[in-house]
Amino acid sequence: MHSGRSPERIGGEREGVRLANVRRAPAPGTPVQRMLFLQRAAGNTAVTQALGGARERAGDSAEEQAGGQSGDRSAVAAAKAGLTRSLVGHNVQIPLVTAHFVKGRLDDRINDGPLFSQQELGWIEALSGEPGWLHRRHLCTIAEADAYIAADDHRAWIKRPTGQRLVIASRYWHNPPASATGRTPTRPEHHIARFLATRRAASPQRRLLEQERDDQIRDTFLDTFVAPGLKDSHSNAEEHRRRDKHANEMLTRIFVILQHGLKVYEPGEGHVDYREGDVARALAHGGRVNIRIPKITAGENPYALTNHLGATRGDRGEAVAPTQKRSFATHHMGIGWDDGPRSGRFKEKSGLAYSLQNKFADPRTKLYGADPAAGGLGNLDFNGETILPDGSNGHIFLGLKLPTTHRPGALQVGIETTAPGKTSGVGYKHTWRSSEKKSSPVSSFHGHKQDKIGGGKTGDNQRFVDLDEFRSPEHPDWLGFLQHLQEEWEAKLNAARDDAQRRTVYAELIGRRRLADQEDQS
């Protein structure tokens, strides 16, 4: 029965051919005639697509001929048809669907879901005798997925084709191995599976999955702040301890700012106090928090905020080791003249062009970074390797736009998966060409990057703090008020007598904003 839907496009905007075009008239019989027919119907690009599809079908046909008895071939053909229709839609002619088009649908599916169903995994299982057919579509056999899960080695996870990652994540989600620790798994296939399951789940299941995510993010930060550490026998133990202490102190000072002033953008409302969850989520999903620094008066230090964080010293931006100066970053702030509180343009921008602008064309932009040991110094990561503050387990990014006497400044703060030039535990390497779309989809603190808090677009400053609001009758300037908040928090930490109490103090710092207390202070 005809569904009434228009024929599906079976390729991209430049590469695809509409089935309606192909059906316009029967294609002539000889190869040359068919080529001319396609040229007239959809252009030279379609010819390339058609020839590629012919090669794919030739490979598929060879496997089918070697596939055994007619009954087996019938089951295989049914599995191919069922899986293909499930991936690309039912209103298509199966012989015309190329492997290239299937790959494109898999790329969409790993970002939006759903996971493969048990039925789809059953079709993939039925095709175990034709791994080449699956591989050409960036899929893998169930046996290959099970072998990956059993090996528990994720160093090349991000280099696997999208479809294979989706098969592995789906197989893992439907048939999870027992957890050795009882804690939520940190392995990448669990993160991808949970993210996709959450996007398609109905309440209250969605809320349970979100709660697992939020609890894991909180626990990972707490494990980072209260960690077992390294034995003296570990190579470079003292240097690792120094780097870990420096990064953790910087992170806590950032969280003091977020705890008092974090806002998120809501379309139609503007920036509102973030109340829905832990402030840890502002840093756990990638992206940036944009902190507005008021313009300065003559003689004031434009580096006052980064000095407070421990990243710089003096009035020339000298980096305090082990903070490093960075050579590139793809995020940039466009800031206009300040004619009054919160006036003037203040807009986040991103892209490779802004990486070049940061480096060569904007002397007011200064870039810094420090390396935490995300997950806790001395703990083991999902590959069984010791977590170290070496740039492979998270990287604190600080992008400072210096304030002047006429313009406010900005500090962009974020936690990146790795430091520039470093490789993560899933095989992602951070280069100057890296971007959010090309990076690992899960952060070092186990938040999926599509789960960021804050609405709107990048230019709306989705996560925002305004230091103009950091004032009180006793502390009329933002820096004095911020130092007062820091001293209060450090007094609480120093009063903690053991690791359990320290975790409680840190949990309060990275948890939900205590807005009633903060209103009393202002």
Helix then strand then coil, in percent of the chain rounded to 5, is: 45, 10, 40
Asked whether residue 213 is assigned to any structural domain, the reply reads: no
Average pLDDT, the chain: 85
> Does the pLDDT value for residue 6 go beyond 90?
no
**Residue 266, φ and ψ in degrees, nearest 5:** -120, 120
* Residues linked to residue 319 through DSSP beta bridges, in sequence order: 312
Regarding predicted confidence, which is higher, 215 or 458? 215
User: pLDDT class for 424, splitting at 50, 70, 90?
Assistant: very high
207 falls within a domain: no
| Residue 471 and residue 348 in one domain | yes
Residues 308 and 349 in one domain: yes
Residue 351 forms part of a structural domain? yes
Query: Is residue 311 predicted with pLDDT exceeding 90?
Result: yes
Q: Which residues contact 271 (CB under 8 A, 6 or more apart)?
A: 263, 264, 265, 461, 464, 466
Span 308-331, average pLDDT: 90
Task: Judge contact between 415 and 396, C-beta under 8 A.
Answer: yes
- Burial (Cβ within 10 Å: 0-12, 13-18, ≥19) of residue 373: buried
Residues 430 and 504 in one domain: yes
Q: How many helices (H) and strands (E) does the chain have?
A: 18, 12
> pLDDT tier at 486 (50, 70, 90 boundaries)?
very high
Q: Which of 191, 209, 243 is the last residue of a domain?
A: 191
Instruction: Tell me: do 180 and 274 sit in the same domain.
Output: no
- For residue 7, pLDDT over 70 is answered with no
Domain for residue 340, yes or no?
A: yes
Please report whether residue 204 resides in a domain: no
Q: pLDDT band for position 8 (50/70/90)? A: very low
What range does the domain containing 274 cover? Answer: 222-521
Residues 251 and 166 in one domain: no
The pLDDT of 471-477, averaged and rounded, is: 92
Cα–Cα distance measured from residue 185 to residue 181, given in angstroms and rounded to the nearest whole number: 9
**Distance from C-alpha of 456 to C-alpha of 436, rounded to nearest angstrom:** 16
b/e map 13-33, b = 16+ CB within 10 Å: eebbbbbebbeeeebeeeeee
Tell me, yes or no, whether 154 and 235 share the same domain: no
Find, among 193, 197, 138, the residue nearest to 171 by Cα: 193
21's enclosing H/E stretch is: helix 19-22
Same domain, 184 and 257: no
- Please say if the pLDDT value at position 340 is more than 80: no
Please tell me the total number of residues recorded for the chain in this structure: 522
Residue 97 sits at the vertex; the CA angle it makes with 96 and 101, to the nearest 5 degrees, is 140
The two three-digit tokens of residue 66, written as one number: 């070697």
Place of tokens 């409680």: 504
Which pLDDT belongs to residue 17? 32
What is d(CA 501, CA 499) in angstroms, rounded to the nearest whole number?
5
Beta strands per DSSP E along 214-288: 263-266, 270-273
Domain count along the chain: 2
Burial class (CB in 10 A: 0-12, 13-18, 19+), 277: middle
Bond preceding residue 114 cis, omega within 30 of 0: yes
What lies within 8 Å, CB to CB, of 221 at 6+ separation is 280, 284, 445, 506, 510
- Among the residue ranges 35-49, 71-85, 166-180, 433-447, the one predicted with the least confidence is 35-49
The residues pairing with 313 across neighbouring beta strands, listed in sequence order, are: 318
- The verdict on residue 210 lying in a domain is no
Q: Which residues contact 95 (CB under 8 A, 6 or more apart)?
A: 57
What is the Cα–Cα distance from 370 to 306, expressed in whole angstroms? 12
The span from the first CA to the last CA of the chain, in angstroms, equals 68
Predicted confidence band of residue 355 (pLDDT cuts 50, 70, 90)? low
pLDDT of residue 163: 97
Distances (CA, A) of 386 to 75, 184, 316: 47, 19, 37
What is the arithmetic mean of pLDDT over 111-126? 97
- Do 306 and 164 share a domain, yes or no? no
Is the domain of 181 the same as that of 279?
Answer: no
Write down which residue in 175, 191, 207 finishes a domain.
191
Q: Is 67 helix (H, G, I), strand (E, B) or coil?
A: coil
Looking at the structure, tell me whether residues 158 and 238 fall in a common domain: no
3-state secondary structure 186-212: CCHHHHHHHHHHHHHCCCCHHHHHHHH
Report the C-alpha gap between 352 and 83 in whole angstroms: 38
The pLDDT score that the predictor gives to residue 331 is 57
How sure is the predictor about 65, in pLDDT bands with cuts at 50, 70 and 90? low
Tell me: do 177 and 282 sit in the same domain: no
Q: Does 211 fall in a domain?
A: no
Task: State pLDDT tens for residues 174-225.
Answer: 998 876 567 899 999 999 999 999 999 998 999 999 999 999 999 999 999 9
pLDDT digits 0-9 by tens, 220-279: 999 999 999 999 999 999 999 999 999 999 999 999 999 999 999 999 999 999 999 999
- Sign of the four-CA dihedral 322, 478, 332, 270: positive
Average pLDDT over residues 370-376: 99
The residue out of 168, 191, 214 marking a domain boundary is 191
Q: Are 323 and 453 in contact (CB under 8 A)?
A: no
> At 117, is the pLDDT very low, low, confident or very high (cuts 50, 70, 90)?
very high
Which of 415, 378, 475 has its CA nearest to residue 279? 415
Q: Are 336 and 345 in contact (CB under 8 A)?
A: yes
**Least confident span in 404-408, 428-432, 443-447:** 428-432
Q: In the 3-class helix/strand/coil scheme, how is 373-438 assigned residue by residue?
A: CCCCCCCECCCCCECCCCCCCCEEEEEEECCCCCCCEEEEEEEECCCCCCECCCCCECCCCCCCCC
Higher pLDDT, 75 or 40: 75
pTM of the model: 0.84
Count Cα neighbours of 244 within 13 Å in the Cβ-side half-sphere: 26
Give SS3 for 326.
coil
Q: Output the pLDDT for position 35.
A: 46
Q: 137-141, 329-333, 364-368, 372-376: lowest mean pLDDT where?
A: 329-333
Same domain for 439 and 367: yes
More confident residue, 88 or 370: 370
Over residues 143-169, the mean pLDDT reads: 97
Q: Is residue 196 part of a domain?
A: no
